[in-house]
Amino acid sequence: MPYTIKEVAEKYNLSVHTLRYYEKEGLLPFIERNKQGNRIFSNKDLEWLNIICCLKNTNMPIAKIKEYVDLCIEGPETICKREDMLLKHKIYIESEIENFNSYLRIVDNKINHYIKEQKSIICK
C-alpha cells in the first residue's frame, strides 16, 4: 500500500522536513515518486524507516546510519561489517543504560531522602 509523505510523517511522529532530509542524506534511497513528483512510500520504505528511527532514537549519528544503509545496499558480502557496526552500537547503548541506571539511583536516593524528611516533620 503506498503512503504519502504526510501519512508517513504522522505515522512515525516525524516532520515532513525530517523525512525529506533523510531522503536527501541517502537514508531512504528507494523512495519513488508519482507523476506529480510527490514521494510515495512503500511498505519496504517503512521497514527501512523503522530501522532508521530505531538507530536514530539510540543516538546513532546520521553519518553512521548512512554507512549502515550503504552496507545493506551493497548486499550480503557486507553482513560481517553490519554485524560489527551493530555490536559496537549495542555496547554504546548498554553503556548509556548503565549511565541512566546510575542517574536513576541518585534520583531514587533523593526521593527516599524527601520521604524520610516528610515523615520526620509529620511525626513531630
Burial class (CB in 10 A: 0-12, 13-18, 19+), 8: buried
Which helix H or strand E contains 92, and what residues bound it?
helix 79-123
| Cβ–Cβ < 8 Å for 49, 39 | no
CB of 37 within 8 A of CB of 26? no
Indicate whether 98 pLDDT > 90: yes
CATH class (in words) of the domain with range 3-74: mainly alpha
Average pLDDT for 75-82: 98
Instruction: Quickly state the pLDDT bin for 124 (edges 50, 70, 90).
Output: low
pLDDT tens digits, 16-70: 999 999 999 999 999 999 999 999 999 999 999 999 999 999 999 999 999 999 9
| Three-state secondary-structure class, residue 32 | strand
What residue ranges do the domains of the chain occupy?
Answer: 3-74, 90-124
